[in-house]
Structure 1
Amino acid sequence: MNHLKPSEIEKLKSALLQEKTELQAHFKINAETTEDGRPISMQDSDGELSSYDNHPADSGTETFERERDMALDEKLGTKLAQVNRALTLMEEGTYGLDAETGQPIAYERLEAIPSTRYNVENVPNEESAPERPVEEQVMTLPPKGAGEGRQAAAGKFDDAGAWQALEDYGNASDTVNSQSEADAANELEKLR
């Protein structure tokens, strides 16, 4: 930790303690337990008299909301653990060193992310999203040529293009021009 000045360490510690306070406040406000410490059931939390509702979408919405809150709590719980780990490392005197290489982490990076344990080059890739959706591994390809016309003209038919096409083509009340009449007569002769 010798690469950090005492004033920098104090500033980073202050930022970590503030973040810890905010995270703990979130968990205190959003604690979903009954008075005896049991987790609140769906029926208790939504205030419905029965778990069978006249509007199934209401229970679907409630389920979605609870799952979203659980995911947020999990993410914030991980963040709280990272903050606590950073504070512990600060007390041990090893704060600000890369967990993989032991090299000093730049103060600017620590200022931006006080709980980080890695230099930019060494950040684990485990949290990065896959390049393509997993579903694509089991999907069948569309038939050859499907959608090629739409893809070739993608973005080319805007409002201005629509009016031009209407002007070129005409509408049901327009009379057929002489060239079209001649073409139709020629086709009719070929059929006879």
Structure 2
Amino acid sequence: MNHLNDSQLAELKHMLLEQKKDLEKHFEQNGQENAQLGETLTDSTGELSSYDNHPADIGTETFERSRDLAINDSLQDELEQVNAALQRMKDGTYGICVESGEEIPFERLQAIPYTAYTVEHTPTRELSNDRPVEEQVMTPPPKGAGEVRQRNAGRFDDAGAWDAVEKYGTSNSPATAAKRDVTDYDENM
């Protein structure tokens, strides 16, 4: 910790304490018990039922809850890192990379005061390449599935659509016929 002077340490400690206060205020305002969104969907939305007039409404609520959960999870991780940095200050190991033992530059600590790594030794966060669990139980489609459709792509046009389905009948009834006094389904056309 000898590469940081007292004024630099004081500045960084002040930054960490401010950050800790802001993060704790977030959880305090949103309720610590709600940090993981423990309420049911109907409780959190104030709706009497989760069956709404439109399915998109519940989709929006689900999206909002998952976004809030991700934000809370990220902020909880940040708070843990801030507390760990404050503990390293007390231990006298603050500003030293936990991976390599090298000194972390003051400019980096100003940018990310809770960091425990130099740029070169920062653990990489790889995107998960996990496939959905449903794929483990799905059977692949039969060989050649969709090949005929691809060969005949573009051959079924709007002009021939009615001719292709007309032989199966229509939903028109004599009551809704455009002609008056229709008594037979065949006269309806």
For residues 32-71 of structure 1, the aligned pairs below 5 Å read 33=33, 39-71=38-70
| 1:128 CA displacement | 4.1
Any gaps of 5 or more consecutive residues in structure 1? 139-192
Higher relative contact order, structure no. (Cα contacts within 8 Å, ≥ 6 residues apart): 1
In structure 2, C-alpha distance between the alignment counterparts of 1:121 and 1:40, rounded to whole Å: 42
Separation (CA, whole Å) in 2 of partners of 1:64 and 1:129 = 20
Partner secondary structure for residue 43 of structure 1: helix
Q: Percentage identity across aligned positions? A: 49
Alpha-carbon separation, structure 2, partners of 1:58 and 1:15: 41
Residues of 2 paired with 1:32 and 1:11: CA distance? 29
Output the CA distance in 1 between the equivalents of 2:33 and 2:10: 36
User: Size of the alignment, in residue pairs?
Assistant: 130
TM-score calculated relative to the size of structure 2: 0.63
C-alpha distance in structure 2 between counterparts of 1:134 and 1:73, whole Å:
23
Structure 1 pair 49–72 and aligned structure 2 pair: CA distance change class (3 A): same
Structure 1's 33 and 93: CA in aligned 2 closer, same or farther, altered over 3 A?
closer
- 1:129 and 1:12 map into 2 onto residues whose CA distance is 31
Distance 1:55 1:107 in 2: 54
| CA RMSD between the two structures | 2.2
User: Where does the alignment leave 5 or more consecutive residues of structure 2 unmatched?
Assistant: 136-189
**Structure-2 change in CA distance of 1:66 and 1:124 (3 Å):** same
- TM-score under structure 1 length normalisation: 0.62
**1:150-169 equivalence runs, <5 A:** none
CA distance in structure 2 between the partners assigned to 1:33 and 1:105 by the alignment: 36
Residues 100 and 6 (structure 1), Cα distance of their counterparts in 2 relative to 1, 3 Å cut? same
Query: After superposition, where does 1:7-156 map in structure 2 within 5 Å?
Result: 7-31=7-31, 33=33, 39-125=38-124, 127-129=125-127
For 1:100 and 1:4, how far apart are their aligned partners in 2? 19
Closer/same/farther in 2, CA of residues 134 and 92 from structure 1, 3 Å limit: closer
Shift of residue 86, structure 1, vs aligned partner: 0.1
Cα–Cα, structure 1 residues 50 and 134, in superposed 2: closer, same or farther, change >3 Å? closer
